[in-house]
Each structure stands twice: as C-alpha cells, then as structure tokens.
C-alpha cells in the first residue's frame, strides 16, 4: 500500500517509513540518561513542538536551535552535540523553559551538555579565564587601580568588603576549586591552547 504521506526527498521518505531507523552517526543510548541526571529535567518527553526555538533570542541570529539539541538528546547524538560550537550560544535567558508546554527546562539540558563537553576539555577559553581570576582574587571581575580611586571618591573604601579586602578567605576558595578539579582543568586547557 502506498504511503499516505510522501516527500519529494526519496531518502527522507524512506527514513520516515522505517520504524527501525537509527541515525547514521554513532548514537549513544546513555546520552539521554546522563543529560537528565545532570539537568534534572525529563528531556525524553520533549515532543518537538518548537516553542523553545520560537522563544529563543539566539535563534534568529545564528544556526543555534534549542529544539535541535533536545532532539539530539533523545537520538543519543552525544559527540555531535558536545562538539557543536552552537552549544555555547545559549544566553541562558530561560524563556524557552518558561514557555515549554511539557514543563521541561531546555536551558538546563544545554547546561548539562556544556558540563559534559567541559569535562572533555571542550569549552570557550574565556570561561577558564574567569576561573583563574576567581582563584587569584575571589572575583570573576576583579578590582582595579582606577576603580579603587573611584570608590574612594564616592566615600567607599578602596577595597569592597569581599575577598578583595579580606584575602584570608582565598585559601578556602582555592581548595574548593581544586577539590572539583576546576583549577586543574583551567590550567590544562589554557596550556594546550598556547
């Protein structure tokens, strides 16, 4: 019997008609479970409506499609997802997550994939620069001489009441960054880049 619905692309029609179709790329069946464990959201119940992409401020100005990442999660396309530069174009505005009719948090799916990519050393170097700033000063955006002078003019102390003024709090911060291997990751990846 002829298919009720046919597409001009014969290959696509064949794939859609094949109930046992699996993606040509290596599919990793553990991917969806790992993403759900890290993100805490049930990515597998996504029904691909596209409300997420339709709400996304990054979608109109790039090839980043949050719905595509949701689909890849369920198809187990791990390597494709983790190596895709678009993974880093989510501004984490959470608009998709507020509007998702399945009550999922697609933004946290992206964060989970970023965690998995970062563990493999795949991540933007500027983020690791932030790690190093915090390791050194406690601040991702540290104080500066110009700002110290400006603070004094406003009647504030040159150093804010943070690790800037109390560097004795820094050892604890360094211990935490080392306990999770974050400092080591930053050193390793930044060294490779040079």
Phi and psi of 61, rounded to 5°?
-120, 20
Q: Which is nearer to other proteins, 50 or 160 (CB)?
A: 160
Least distance in Å: CB of 68 to other proteins? 17
Within 10 Å of residue 5's Cβ, how many Cβ atoms? Answer: 8
CB-based contacts of 31: which residues, under 8 Å, 6+ apart?
Answer: 73, 76, 77, 78, 81
Which residues are at the interface with other proteins (CB under 8 A)? 38, 57-58, 61-62, 88-95, 97-98, 103, 105, 107, 111, 114-115, 118-119, 123-124, 126-131, 133-134, 138-144, 147, 150-151, 153-156, 160-166, 168-169, 171-173, 175-177, 179-180, 182, 185
Q: Which is nearer to other proteins, 15 or 102 (CB)?
A: 102
* Angle, helix 106-119 to helix 31-39, in steps of 10 degrees: 110
Least distance in Å: CB of 128 to other proteins? 8
Least distance in Å: CB of 138 to other proteins? 4
Least distance in Å: CB of 39 to other proteins? 9
Q: How far apart are CA 26 and CA 80, in angstroms?
A: 9
Q: Which is nearer to other proteins, 75 or 110 (CB)?
A: 110
Place of tokens 């930053």: 186
Q: How many Cα atoms occupy the beta-carbon half-sphere of 155 within 13 Å?
A: 0
Q: How far apart are CA 13 and CA 39, in angstroms?
A: 34
Q: Which is nearer to other proteins, 16 or 185 (CB)?
A: 185
Q: Which is nearer to other proteins, 6 or 45 (CB)?
A: 45
| 193, two tokens | 């880049």
What does each C-alpha distance from 60 to 17, 54, 71, 163 come to in angstroms?
A: 32, 9, 19, 41
Q: Which is nearer to other proteins, 25 or 120 (CB)?
A: 120
Least distance in Å: CB of 167 to other proteins? 9
Least distance in Å: CB of 106 to other proteins? 10
Is the distance from CB of 64 to CB of 89 less than 8 angstroms?
Answer: yes
């Amino acid at each position: 019997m002829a298919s009720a619905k046919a597409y001009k692309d014969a290959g696509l029609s064949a794939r859609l008609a094949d109930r046992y179709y699996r993606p040509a790329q290596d599919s990793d069946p553990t991917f969806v479970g790992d993403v759900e464990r890290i993100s805490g959201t049930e990515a597998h119940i996504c029904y691909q409506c596209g409300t997420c992409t339709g709400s996304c401020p990054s979608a109109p100005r790039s090839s980043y499609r949050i719905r595509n990442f949701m689909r890849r999660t369920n198809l187990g396309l791990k390597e494709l997802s983790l190596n895709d530069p678009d993974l880093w174009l989510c501004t984490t505005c959470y608009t998709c997550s507020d509007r998702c009719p399945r009550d999922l948090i697609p933004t946290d799916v992206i964060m989970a994939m970023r965690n998995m990519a970062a563990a493999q050393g795949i991540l933007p170097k500027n983020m690791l620069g932030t790690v190093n700033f915090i390791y050194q000063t406690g601040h991702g955006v540290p104080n500066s001489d110009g700002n110290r002078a400006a603070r004094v003019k406003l009647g504030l102390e040159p150093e804010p009441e943070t690790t800037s003024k109390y560097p004795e709090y820094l050892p604890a911060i360094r211990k935490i960054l080392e306990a999770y291997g974050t400092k080591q990751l930053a050193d390793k990846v930044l060294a490779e880049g040079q």
